[in-house]
Each structure stands twice: as structure tokens, then as C-alpha cells.
Structure 1
């Protein structure tokens, strides 16, 4: 008899129900009911059901400290943290890591999940073949930030802070990247005026200075469709990651980009760092200062 039913039999017996009625209700023999009651009288307590599954095991205190130390450094979810620890030889399960994170308040509430993805992620076949570029306002410095990211490796090849998102500042950062890494096949941007000459009314569309420079250098300019941010989603995603992760752990953006490029595992890269995927390069130093930087 199931333990749940045994508990019910004992409770009905203590409430004064005759054993014959209990047996009739459960459609089992009176002898079985009497045996359950006999066991109850012998042990003096109602039989409690056993918890399903294996019993919980206490987590080693040393493992807890290791998980805390790595979370302080990476501040990521349990899945990525499990991958990081696994590569270092620690056999803590992802479930245990999540348990430790929950106990220490490291787990952030999960935002409302989206429906099925409508767009497929595409990756160009080699490094420095295609770059994504875009501008954003940096809430930390109060300046405008431009960044270029390699499509294949997600490696930040260059960035800079400026007082305005202009074509001149865009080219200033681009020239430094081209000097370091050479000319790519294509650069993907949105339709911002610093990248693209938008058509006004019925006037014939011209070309801005950025487009002319790319044309002179033989670089294909891929422009995202209007109201379609997914085209340039890799750099958009990086901006969100930077704004979320660049906190008191880092002195400035230089230190954060070094961390992002060389230490932070990327889920889309099979939990490798961008530097590990970037061809023929093992470690990168930041040259220059935060006003205009090229990673390399």
C-alpha cells in the first residue's frame, strides 16, 4: 500500500471509523487495514511519506567560496558559470551553482520571456571580414560612444568617446582600426546620418563622407533596413552588455574591454572568449586612451 494511503488509514482509524468501512472504502482486505494499524500502534506515530528522489547533500563550503569568487568576477548566470568552472576542473553541477546563487541573492529576476525568434543569427566565415559599427550614449561618461565589433568573433576592434556622434568622429575611429587590422570586406551600420545619407522628400539621395571613404577603399557598406535593428544586432547587444556589466569592478572602459575580449566567455562562441576565436591572436593590450581606442 502507498504511504499516502497508509496515512489516510491511520487518520480515519483515529477518527473512529471501523476497519471494515475503511477496507470497503479502499476496496482492500480488512487484514491489510489491521496490519497498517498494528504498525502504527507499534511505532507510535503516523507514517510520513518519503521525499521523492535522492536526499539532498550538503554543499562543500570550499565550493561555495569558489562560486562566490567567480560570480564576483563574471557576474553571469549559473549556466555560463558552470561552463567556466568546468573548464577549470571543478565538478559542481549547474543546479548546485544555481542553489548557491539563490542562497546569496545573486540571481536576478528573469524578464518576461519572448516568443519564438523570428530572425536567424548569421555569422560571417572569418575574422575581420565584416565589422559592425554604431553609436550610443554612454550613461557612465555622459559622452557619445562609438564601437566596432568583429562579426565572426564578437571581438571589439575599436571604440571611442566623443562629444558628438559625427561623421568626422566616426572616420577618426575607423582610420585607427584600418591601420591596425587592414581593410575589411564590409562594414554593417544603421541609417544614422553619420553613416548614411538619408533621402529627404523627392530629392535624389546623395552620399555622406563616410560612404565616400568606404567606396574609395573598396569596402562594401551594408545598411540595415529601416526599423529593423536586428541587422546590426551584434553591436547593439554589446552596448547593452557594456552598460549592464561595466560597474565598480572596472576602473574604466579600457579595463572592461580587456575583460570582455580576453576573459569573458561568450555563449554564442561555445563559451570561448572573443580573443580565443579571433584568428592568430592570444592576448590583446589596449593602445592609447579612452578618448579613441583600438583594441590590439
Structure 2
């Protein structure tokens, strides 16, 4: 949008009777944006103008596009984890939303209608960062990836790629997340995982007790372990 297009769009709606949807489609913006501009004009009597100091839109370079395609062919990860793969392997930081948009553009990702709707149920929605992290393994073509993600901010504090899904590898990546938390002047309060053997003691001895290196480590650090319910992962 430009200042001229903003004025044209408002005039078309208020003077020519065009609909918000028609103007939005014509200018390739959301209907919500057009509604906001019309509302400002009605309240102030002045056409809204763009902030000249706003951050200019940045587009992917051809080199970045090539890196995304190459990294995807290596890992077949989604945009969220692919961003960290690119940062680790290619030493470049490309925003997740730009990676996802480009994957959609070249047909390597599909829009998920379920994620575009309000979820009927959400078990965890913490308000404070580091009050809860989520951790899980995923495997693709023999590469086992584990990430520790903050529930409140959805920021990935640490991520690792390994040949096997083991407790030792999980703890190695967790220790990186702990250092990230300390650098942010905070401490991890709790971690949510599934009930995989890397995190949760599934076998008990004859006394009904079970050992878990992962849980023992969390206890030593004062971190609460919250395993997901069976058949109902977070």
C-alpha cells in the first residue's frame, strides 16, 4: 500500500460504494487492513498516511532461496525447525515466516486450515517465559532432531541433530537451553515431554520404583517434569 492507494481505496468504498473485499482484493491486502484505514478516516476526517520511518519490506535473495531449497532437501523439516538447521549449517539467519512463505510458493509446504482456526483446546498457554518448555524428538531420514521450545514466547531455546534419540543427547541440548535461559536472566521452571523412554521411566522394578536419568537431572536442577498424558501429546 502507498498513501495514494490508501486514499483511492477509502474513496472507492465511501464515494463509489465498492465493498471492502473488492478493494482488498484489488490492492492485494487483507480486508482487516482496509477496515482499519476506513475506520481511521471516519474517526479523524483525514486520510491515513504511512510512517516514513517504517521498516522497509525485505525480500529473500536468490542465494537465500537456494539455501532454503538445499536445506529442505537435506532435512525435509518444516519452516520452524528448518530455520535452525539453516542457521547451524549455513550460518545464515532467515526468518521463519519467510521460509514458510517461500516453501508455500515453490510447493514444498501446504497451508494447514486447522492451524488457521482457533483451537478448541489448548492445554498449555503460559504467560511467562521459561515457566514451561516443551521438548520432543522427531525423526526424518535417519536424523533425530530434538528441540526445547518456550511455551509462552514459542521461541526455540536450543535444538540438536543426532543419529539416535537418547537421553544423553536430550540432556546435551537441554544444557544449551539452560545457558540461554541464564543469559536472559532466568531459570527454567518446568519441562513438558511425552512418555518416551528418553524422558520417562516406563519400566519399574519389583519394588514398584523406576529410575530415569532425565528426571533425576531435572530434580537436581529444581525443574519440574510434566509428562503428557498417554495418547494426548501436547
TM-score, normalization by structure 1: 0.40
Q: RCO higher in 1 or 2 (8 Å CA, sep ≥ 6)?
A: 1
TM-score, normalization by structure 2: 0.49
Which is greater in Rg?
1
